[in-house]
């Protein structure tokens, strides 16, 4: 209700770019003030387990951690105390969980012995993922005001200059929170700090509820950015809700991958991200992947590459599938390169290879509704780019815009490109081969970033 009131207020005062961002929290403190999360009182029907905290940064308490969860399992709560740090220095297989809570008020922190973790972390073949630990089972809740700290600086430094998806990359980094085969899992209130790579990877799980979280990955080294620190990735999930999340990272703000259905995201703030992405999907040869029944709403995207994005792989050895019934609604953009994008030539392939081996992923029934704000000007007056697959067998239809008002800082008419989209989009859009598009791309302007840490916006 509050959000729709805000939307009406914005429409009334949308005469300046500043007004668009009025009331948006600019840091985690303001986020917590705006969206107050109160740690629920201890439930009387559960028993509580405490473990000894670490005495220093090398005092690995992972054995206690696992024992604590075993004792708390089947109806209890592991309580990690405020002001204490719990160092995890070896991989933990926590897939035995059943009706267990973790009250996280202190900090769980991973060691940064990069060589050790690369040799010993769990491995998932999807994009060669490593994981510090594995969580799984049913009726799991992690809640509180505490922090999971990935201790990522050394990982950022050592990864500098590399590319995660390049076939030659052998420098793998562990995901901060990994879940496999879980039913009914809730993660609430906590803070994720400096993950080496993705923050969450949820596999083959259902009924997932993540809310009131902050996710921050910051490097103190300008030549070693916190790359690929996505907030959320998944495979094979059903029924996910994400609410009230503040994200300041480098990569996708939210990006379910193969096989996600019934997904609802409401109220996210993303700085420095690659946007709200569906996929990438269709990466692996012969494999079917789908994403379906998704609503993403009330999203503020600042200083990033994309707003709403759908990405599917093309090339000689890729998969197939579809993205269907996705609504992106109420997006506010500031200094974002493209407000909307369909990229059917993922990842990094040139246009002739893409034309020869186009994506086999259908994209249908997608709505972009109530988009406001200004792009970065990186693409001139081009503010959005929908490039559907050129394959005759991959359909791309019923892609519509309702109330789309995104402008370019270069001034002049903003241009949206649509290629391969069947039917009326509800918006005038042009082909990338048109003179209008080429002229818009040439518009040359720069604009300042939206500052998060200085008043006023
Ligand atoms: C679109 O947004 C601009 C400011 O970014 C505003 O001046 C204009 O009135 C808006 N147009 C509509 C139709 O809402
Ligand atoms: C850290 O604490 C552990 C456990 O008390 C101790 O064995 C170790 O010597 C301490 N290391 C440092 C560097 O203080
Ligand atoms: C994790 O533990 C479960 C038993 O709880 C076992 O079946 C599984 O093989 C273990 N996984 C790994 C990767 O060690
Ligand atoms: C998945 O979890 C359920 C319990 O929630 C268990 O019965 C089943 O064996 C697990 N499957 C795998 C493949 O681990
Ligand atoms: C910053 O990262 C670069 C690239 O890896 C590295 O060469 C340099 O030593 C790092 N600086 C610090 C202070 O760690
Ligand atoms: C989805 O999961 C939530 C818990 O997060 C549950 O309350 C709800 O009933 C589930 N919905 C469906 C359709 O399974
Ligand atoms: C927001 O993201 C931009 C782009 O990545 C970055 O330069 C800026 O430092 C971020 N702001 C804050 C407060 O972290
Ligand atoms: C997605 O689901 C399809 C079945 O529809 C299955 O063949 C495929 O292996 C699944 N993908 C993943 C990554 O598990
Ligand atoms: C589209 O997805 C939404 C959200 O999950 C769902 O409520 C709706 O029923 C779906 N529409 C169709 C036609 O399946
Ligand atoms: C994609 O759409 C075409 C045309 O409707 C259909 O024949 C094909 O089966 C669809 N692909 C998938 C994976 O659903
Ligand atoms: C087009 O997609 C929207 C959802 O984005 C859906 O509500 C509508 O029914 C679809 N129209 C047709 C003709 O399928
Ligand atoms: C844009 O303008 C800058 C400075 O005004 C200039 O250096 C740059 O070459 C221009 N770029 C293009 C693509 O025209």
pLDDT, mean of residues 47-64 = 98
pTM of the complete model: 0.94
pLDDT, mean of residues 293-314 = 97
Cβ of 365 closer than 6 Å to ligand 11, yes or no, is yes
CATH of domain 1-32+252-457: 2.160.20.10
Residue 400: CB atoms within 10 Å: 18
Q: How would you class 45 by CB atoms within 10 Å of its CB: exposed for 0-12, middle for 13-18, buried for 19 or more?
A: exposed
Tokens representing 45?
């029907």
C-alpha 272 – ligand 5 centre gap (Å): 21
pLDDT digits (tens, 9 = 90+) for 238-252: 999 999 999 999 999
Cβ of 405 closer than 6 Å to ligand 1, yes or no, is yes
Distance CA 339, CA 23 (A): 21
Examine the residue annotation and report whether 274 is marked as an active-site residue of this protein: yes
Strands (E), 218-287: 233-248, 255-256, 260-271, 276-281
Q: Where in the chain is the domain with CATH 2.160.20.10?
A: 1-32+252-457, 40-104+106-143+147-188+190-249
CA dihedral 434, 436, 441, 445 (to 10 degrees): 180
Residue 282 φ/ψ, nearest 5 degrees: 80, 25
Task: Give the per-residue pLDDT at 427.
Answer: 97
CA angle 321, 324, 267 (to 5 degrees): 125
Q: Which residues line ligand 2 (CB under 6 A)?
A: 55-56, 58-59
Tokens representing 248?
């300041």
Tokens 């012995």 -> residue: 113
CA angle 12, 16, 22 (to 5 degrees): 70
Distance CA 75, CA 98 (A): 8
pLDDT, mean of residues 118-128 = 98
C-alpha 294 – ligand 6 centre gap (Å): 14
Tokens representing 186?
């809730």
Nearest protein CA to atom 8 of ligand 11, as residue = 365
Catalytic annotation, pick one of 149, 230, 233, 274: 274
Q: Atom of ligand 1 at shortest distance to CA of 17?
A: 5
Q: How would you class 99 by CB atoms within 10 Å of its CB: exposed for 0-12, middle for 13-18, buried for 19 or more?
A: middle
For residue 286, give the DSSP letter. Answer: T
C-alpha 265 – ligand 10 centre gap (Å): 27
Residue 167: CB atoms within 10 Å: 6
Residue to substitute in 325, 328, 367, 369 for testing ligand 9 pocket (most ligand atoms within 8 angstroms of CB): 325
The 3-state DSSP class for residue 429 equals coil
The 3-state DSSP class for residue 85 equals strand
Task: Give the per-residue pLDDT at 124.
Answer: 98
Residue 446 φ/ψ, nearest 5 degrees: -125, 155
Q: By percentage, how much of the chain surpasses pLDDT 70?
A: 94
Examine the residue annotation and report whether 251 is marked as an active-site residue of this protein: yes
pLDDT band at 234 (very low <50, low <70, confident <90, very high): very high
Nearest protein CA to atom 12 of ligand 4, as residue = 181
Mean pLDDT in the chain?
Answer: 94
* Architecture of the 40-104+106-143+147-188+190-249 domain: 3 Solenoid (2.160)
Nearest protein CA to atom 2 of ligand 9, as residue = 293
Cβ of 271 closer than 6 Å to ligand 7, yes or no, is yes
Task: Give the per-residue pLDDT at 453.
Answer: 56
CA angle 434, 435, 441 (to 5 degrees): 95
Closest-CA residue to 6 (of 303, 455, 370, 374): 370
């Amino acid at each position: 209700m509050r959000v729709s009131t805000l939307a009406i207020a914005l429409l009334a005062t949308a005469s300046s770019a500043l007004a668009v961002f009025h009331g948006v929290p600019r840091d985690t403190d303001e986020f917590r003030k705006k969206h107050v999360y109160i740690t629920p009182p201890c439930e009387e029907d559960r028993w509580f387990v405490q473990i000894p905290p670490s005495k220093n940064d090398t005092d690995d308490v992972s054995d206690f951690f696992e024992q604590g969860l075993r004792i708390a399992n089947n109806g209890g709560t592991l309580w990690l105390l405020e002001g204490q740090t719990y160092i995890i220095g070896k991989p933990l297989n926590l897939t035995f969980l059943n009706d267990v809570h973790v009250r996280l008020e202190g900090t769980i922190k991973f060691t940064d012995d990069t060589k050790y973790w690369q040799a010993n972390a769990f491995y998932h073949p999807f994009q060669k993922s490593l994981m510090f630990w594995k969580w799984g089972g049913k009726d799991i809740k992690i809640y509180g005001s505490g922090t999971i700290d990935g201790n990522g600086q050394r990982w950022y430094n050592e990864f500098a200059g590399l590319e995660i998806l390049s076939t030659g990359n052998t420098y793998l980094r562990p995901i901060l929170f990994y879940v496999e085969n879980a039913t009914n899992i809730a993660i609430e209130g906590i803070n994720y700090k400096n993950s080496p790579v993705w923050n969450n990877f949820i596999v083959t799980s259902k009924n997932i509820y993540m809310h009131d979280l902050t996710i921050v990955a910051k490097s103190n080294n300008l030549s070693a950015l916190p790359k690929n620190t996505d907030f959320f990735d998944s495979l094979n999930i059903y029924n996910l809700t994400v609410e009230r999340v503040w994200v300041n990272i480098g990569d996708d703000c939210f990006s379910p991958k193969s096989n996600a259905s019934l997904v609802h995201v409401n109220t996210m703030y993303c700085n420095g991200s690659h946007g709200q992405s569906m996929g990438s999907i269709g990466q692996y040869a012969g494999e079917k992947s789908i994403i379906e029944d998704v609503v993403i709403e009330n999203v503020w995207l600042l200083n990033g590459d994309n707003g709403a994005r759908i990405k599917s792989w093309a090339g000689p050895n890729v998969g197939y599938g579809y993205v269907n019934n996705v609504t992106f609604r109420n997006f506010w953009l500031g200094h974002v390169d493209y407000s909307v994008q369909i990229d059917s030539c993922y990842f990094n392939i040139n246009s002739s290879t893409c034309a020869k081996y186009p994506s086999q992923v259908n994209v249908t029934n997608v709505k972009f509704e109530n988009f406001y704000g200004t792009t970065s000007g990186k693409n001139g007056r081009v503010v959005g780019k929908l490039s559907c697959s050129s394959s005759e067998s991959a359909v791309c239809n019923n892609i519509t815009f309702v109330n789309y008002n995104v402008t370019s800082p270069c001034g002049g008419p903003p241009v949206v490109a649509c290629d391969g989209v069947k039917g009326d989009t509800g918006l005038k859009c042009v082909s990338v081969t048109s003179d209008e598009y080429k002229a818009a791309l040439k518009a040359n302007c720069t604009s300042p970033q939206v500052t998060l840490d200085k008043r006023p916006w």
